[in-house]
């Protein structure tokens, strides 16, 4: 990767990935794009352009103007919002991806886009879900993700576009909160623990999903994009995970730092149904074998870091 265009650069992943990529590849070599502008490092520390990914020519012109050789396509709606606005989700998630893939094909760019644990469904084996298995998701988001995985494979096989991707679990970070996801509780709980000493979880006790701290997610993207292509048997949609956890596991980890922390439940049927249709835990051995994926943060190490970083953020 030398000159990278990032879509959805002000979102949960983009706002940290852009900063990290600029540290590695140089500020001018990472072009951040989004549909809005804000006062942030992403906008202020390097090239930034307003681009709507559903406008293919705007995306193409921006990529051409900066002579990019890599596209990291992050602009998308998450699972719970996509259930509320399924037609909009289809148009944005699939239309945006098609446009970004076409720009990559026309300008001969390397390409990354994330898939998700949402690409699995109720008929998928739930525990240690294999890399290659049944994928019959029951959410609009999941349908978008499976179609996206297949499209990326297609662009590689048919046109030789160097497409790569992972299936992210729930991502947790202290920088930019996610919006409209099913796994967002795992971020909210840390904010509420510090602000109120209490959290009401919309996901039920005993509901396990895979999770990952953002630094591991960012390293995974960079490591996969830099990986020797001859080692990659899968290329797209690698299962990756750092740990599997239920709401009570987060509460117990937080209590080691805030002993009086309390949690109760007010389950949201929509997000609970989505969570129950997803795996409890993924088998990520293909990612470990093919490109050396190895997360650093387990639940306890992440909790310690998350709470200390959020405390600093609150004081700022
Ligand atoms: N974190 C995402 C969501 O909950 C899953 O990819 O929608």
* Domains along the chain with CATH numbers: 4-169+212-239 (3.40.50.720), 170-210+243-279+297-315 (3.90.25)
Residue 141 CA, closest ligand 1 atom number:
7
- Answer yes or no: is the C-beta of 263 below 6 A from any ligand 1 atom: no
- Answer yes or no: is the C-beta of 182 below 6 A from any ligand 1 atom: yes
pLDDT digits (tens, 9 = 90+) for 186-229: 999 999 999 999 999 999 999 999 999 999 999 999 999 999 99
pLDDT of 109 reads: 98
Q: Are 166 and 238 in contact (CB under 8 A)?
A: yes
pLDDT digits (tens, 9 = 90+) for 151-186: 999 999 999 999 999 999 999 999 999 889 999 999
- Answer yes or no: is the C-beta of 79 below 6 A from any ligand 1 atom: yes
Closest C-alpha to ligand 1, atom 6: 116
Centre of ligand 1 to C-alpha 106, Å, is 30
Average pLDDT of the segment spanning 7-16 = 97
- Answer yes or no: is the C-beta of 172 below 6 A from any ligand 1 atom: no
pLDDT digits (tens, 9 = 90+) for 17-73: 999 999 999 999 999 999 999 999 999 999 999 999 999 999 999 999 999 999 999
Centre of ligand 1 to C-alpha 222, Å, is 20
Across the chain, what does the average pLDDT equal?
A: 97
Nearest CA-CA partner of 75 in 49, 56, 63, 93: 93
pLDDT digits (tens, 9 = 90+) for 252-270: 999 999 999 999 999 999 9
Res 316 pLDDT > 90 = no
Nearest CA-CA partner of 262 in 190, 195, 200, 219: 200
Nearest CA-CA partner of 298 in 238, 253, 233: 253
pLDDT of 1 reads: 67
Share of the chain above pLDDT 90, in %: 97
Residue 114 CA, closest ligand 1 atom number:
6
Bridge partners, residue 72, by sequence: 6, 112
Q: Are 30 and 46 in contact (CB under 8 A)?
A: yes
Centre of ligand 1 to C-alpha 205, Å, is 18
pLDDT of 94 reads: 98
pLDDT of 292 reads: 97
| Backbone torsions φ then ψ of 250, nearest 5 degrees | -65, -45
pLDDT digits (tens, 9 = 90+) for 116-155: 999 999 999 999 999 999 999 999 999 999 999 999 999 9
pLDDT of 136 reads: 98
- Residue 141 appears among annotated catalytic residues: yes
108 CB-contact burial (10 Å; exposed 0-12 / middle 13-18 / buried 19+):
exposed
Catalytic pick among 25, 66, 141, 154: 141
For a ligand 1 pocket test, name from 80, 171, 183, 245 the mutation site with the most ligand atoms within 8 angstroms of its C-beta.
183
Q: How far apart are CA 124 and CA 126, in angstroms?
A: 6
pLDDT of 314 reads: 82
pLDDT of 132 reads: 97
């Amino acid at each position: 990767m030398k000159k990278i265009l990032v879509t959805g650069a002000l979102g949960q992943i983009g706002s940290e990935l852009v900063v990290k990529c600029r540290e590695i590849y140089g500020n001018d070599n990472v072009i951040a794009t989004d549909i809005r502008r804000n006062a942030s490092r992403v906008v202020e520390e390097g090239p930034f352009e307003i681009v709507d990914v559903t406008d293919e020519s705007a995306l193409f012109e921006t990529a051409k103007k900066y002579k990019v050789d890599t596209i990291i396509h992050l602009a998308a709606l998450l699972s719970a919002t996509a259930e509320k606005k399924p037609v909009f989700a289809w148009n944005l998630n699939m239309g945006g991806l098609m446009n970004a893939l076409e720009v990559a094909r026309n300008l001969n760019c390397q390409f990354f886009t994330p898939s998700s644990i949402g690409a699995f469904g109720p008929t998928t084996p739930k525990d240690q879900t294999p890399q290659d298995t049944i994928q019959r998701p029951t959410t609009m988001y999941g349908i978008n993700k499976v179609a996206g995985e297949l499209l990326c494979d297609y662009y590689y096989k048919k046109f030789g576009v160097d497409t790569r991707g992972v299936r992210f679990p729930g991502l947790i970070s202290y920088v930019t909160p996610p919006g409209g996801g099913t796994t967002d509780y795992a971020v909210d709980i840390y904010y509420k623990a510090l602000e109120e000493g209490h959290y009401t979880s919309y996901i039920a006790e005993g509901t396990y999903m895979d999770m990952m701290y953002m630094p591991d997610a960012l390293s995974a993207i960079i490591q996969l994009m830099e990986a020797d292509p001859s080692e990659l048997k899968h290329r797209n949609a690698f299962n990756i995970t750092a740990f599997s956890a239920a709401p009570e596991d987060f509460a117990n980890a937080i209590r080691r730092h805030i002993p009086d922390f309390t949690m109760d439940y007010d389950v949201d049927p929509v997000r609970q149904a989505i969570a129950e249709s997803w795996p409890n835990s993924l088998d990520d051995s293909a990612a470990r074998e093919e490109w050396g994926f190895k997360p650093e943060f387990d639940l306890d190490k992440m909790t310690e870091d998350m709470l200390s970083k959020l405390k600093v953020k609150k004081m700022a």
